[in-house]
Structure 1
């Protein structure tokens, strides 16, 4: 009986050692982080400054590599910043193994191809900037799995379509996908992301209407950039309910109908760009409510009637663009002097601009 007991104990000890050794091999560590980064290096086809060629080497500790930052506690890679290095290449699936990564910045390079699905494993990621590259394909639906993401910059690429899953990013503050090849309507899920402060989709092919209740779920929205798209319909009448909105840029679309009076009740607005649309009607006297307005751009907007005299009450105004409309009566051009006093003079041809 004693021999059997000792044999069982020895067997248990050996089993524990085996389990510990297996776990040590399977749990990701700084070595796996190094392997992931070396895989990225292998996918770089052009490194004009030799940054990675001369620095990313197994002879030096990975946390000392250019662009790499490690956390103090776990000594794992938490930040990867390869911006502005003129790199060319693709992103390998291995990059998804950087499980402690919080910040990823590959902006201002020439990375191309699709984003690999394995990046969904970057569950700790809060900041991603892939702007000014040559990425293509549909915006991946797995982006919705990066639930801790707070800032997402994808501008100046060739992405197409916007997945509904983008609405799962309930901590997102900045969504910037300007100057891509996006088509179709904006997913309604975007308008339920109450954390959003900036929505930027300028220079795409986005179509459809803005929801009439868009401000209901965007209580923290500060900037809405939708210029140069194919949006249509009317500007939501309850725009003033976006009580923190400072910048509204929806020029060069196909919006129509009157400009809602609620627009002039958005009292914190600093920039209002409505030009290049198919509005109708006059600019109301209520525009004087925009006490913080600095830029008012409504050229070629289909407006008629008289220019309201209340424009003289907006002392913060620095730039005004109203040309290309069908205003009646005396047309004035204004400029702003250092004393912040309006100085009018009569001209013709509906030329109404100043800076």
Structure 2
């Protein structure tokens, strides 16, 4: 009986050692991080400053490589910053094996091709900046699987397709920039689920249709930027009710129509209001120009009727007022010229009769 017990104990010990050894081989470690980065280096076709060629070598510890930061606790790669290095190449699937990565910054290079699906495995990622590159292909729906992302910056690339509804799964997102791409279609209603979003920038794309009403209930939003798209429809009359923190509204060069909401004063933190080159019509509302924080107001290139409201002289911190080619008539209120902060005023291309 004693021999059987010792034999069982020995067998158990050997089994434990075997399991530990197997786990050691299968669990990713700094060596796998190094392999992932070397795969990226192999995909670089042009390194004009020799940053990776001269530094990323197996003869030095990976945590000491240029652009690489490792965590203190696990000694795994947590940040990769290759911004502004003029690199050319593609992103390999292996990069998705950097399982401890929190920040990925490839800004201002010439990376091209599609983003590999394997990047969805970067579950710890909080910051991704791939702007000013040559990435192409459909805007990946798997990005919605990166649920810890706080900043997603993909501007100035060549992405196509539509904005995936799955983006609404990034519930911690605070900054979303998709500007200067070739994104089409309508803005998904699900965008309104991003309750922590502060900056929404999709300027210079090919978006169409009305602005989702859900956007106007996102109280966290500070900046809404849709300049140079094909956005149509009216602005909601109560648009400021749910936008208590809005500071910048950029809607110029779209196809918006109807009248400007008369209660814009409820956007009490609004500093920049850009509505140029749309199809707004009717009179410019009178009761909305009592803001003490508005600095930039551009209404040029619309189809207004009537006069400039006297109340605009209440915009005591206004620096830029553009109302040229707006279809305005009547008298120019002389009180506008008493706004001491005003630096740029353009009222040309209208049918004013005099200054009163």
Interval of TM-score (by shorter of Structure 1 and Structure 2) = 0.7 to 0.9
Give CA-to-partner distance per residue, 1:179-233, whole Å, 9 cap, x none. 3444555455444443332233333444444444443443322222232333444
List gaps (5 residues or longer) in structure 1.
329-355
How far apart are residue 168 of structure 1 and its match? Answer: 4.6
Query: CA 1:80/1:315 → structure 2, altered by over 3 Å: closer, same or farther?
Result: same
CA distance 1:64–1:268, shift in 2 (3 Å): same
Q: Distance in 2 between matches of 1:171 and 1:327?
A: 45
- The 2-side partners of 1:118 and 1:17 are apart by 32
How far 1:127 sits from its partner (Å)?
2.9
Report how many residues are paired.
327
- Please give the TM-score of this superposition, normalised by the length of structure 2: 0.79
| Corresponding position of 2:21 | 21
1:65 shift after superposition: 1.7
With 78-87 and 205-214 compared, the bigger mean Cα shift is at 205-214
SS at match of 2:111: strand
> CA, structure 1 residues 46+320, in 2 after alignment: closer, same or farther (shift >3 Å)?
same
- For the 8 Å contact 1:295–1:318, the answer to whether it is kept is yes
Retained in 1: the 8 A contact 2:287–2:311?
no
- Cα displacement (A) at 1:173: 2.7
CA–CA distance in 2 between the matches of 1:66 and 1:156?
Answer: 25
Of stretches 306-315 and 138-147 in structure 1, the one that deviates more from structure 2 is 138-147
Where structure 2 has 5 or more consecutive residues not aligned to the other structure, the ranges are 158-183
SS of alignment partner, residue 204 of structure 2: coil
Verify the 8 A CA contact 2:284 2:309 in the aligned structure 1. Answer: no
Relative to the length of structure 1, the TM-score reads 0.79
Task: Note if contact 2:320-2:345 (Cα within 8 Å) is conserved in structure 1.
Answer: yes
CA RMSD of aligned residues (A): 2.9
| 3-state SS of 2:215 partner | helix
1:52 offset after TM fit, Å? Answer: 1.9
Q: In 2, Cα distance between the equivalents of 1:61 and 1:101?
A: 17
Instruction: Tell me the equivalent position of 1:217.
Output: 242
Quote how far apart the aligned CAs of 1:167 are.
4.4
Shift of residue 311, structure 1, vs aligned partner: 0.9
Maintained 8 Å contact 2:197/2:220: yes
Partners of 1:188 and 1:112 in 2: CA distance = 35
Partners of 1:153 and 1:175 within 8 A in 2:
no
Give the whole-Å Cα distance in 1 for the aligned partners of 2:83 and 2:238: 39
Contact 1:142 1:165 in 2 (8 A): no
CA distance in 2, matches of 1:211, 1:35: 53
Cα distance in 1 for residues equivalent to 2:265 and 2:77: 44
Deviation at 1:254, TM superposition (A): 3.0
- Rounded to whole Å, the distance in 2 between the matches of 1:123 and 1:218 is 31
Distance change >3 Å, CA 243–CA 10, structure 1 → 2: farther
Counterpart secondary structure, 1:264: coil
